[in-house]
Amino acid sequence: MKKYCLPVLMLVTFETIAVTLWLAKDNLFYLLNFSYIGISIFIGQMLFICRYKHARRIVQLLIGLYMLI
């Protein structure tokens, strides 16, 4: 259970930033942007913890899709 603390902490951090900026600036872009980044980091870290064979490729795909948007 302790090994999952860092990914969850990263997700909570990015979601906190997302909601704070969204409410402060009244711009939905901040919520979507930081949520996507936080979820991508969370997924990547969880896949590496679980030693998923294609974890690196999935993370590269998520980053590449983010850069296209």
Q: What is the pLDDT of residues 25-47, one digit of tens each?
A: 999 999 999 999 999 999 999 99
Give the list of residues 6+ apart from residue 24 with CB closer than 8 angstroms, or none: none
Confidence of residue 1 (pLDDT cuts 50, 70, 90): confident
| DSSP code per residue over the chain | -GGGHHHHHHHHHHHHHHHHHHHHHT-HHHHHHHHHHHHHHHHHHHHHHTT-TTHHHHHHHHHHHHHH-
Q: Please report the pLDDT score of residue 69 as a whole number.
A: 78
Q: Please report the pLDDT score of residue 52 as a whole number.
A: 96
**Its pTM surpasses 0.95:** no
Percent of the chain with pLDDT strictly greater than 90: 96
Domain range annotation of the chain: 2-68
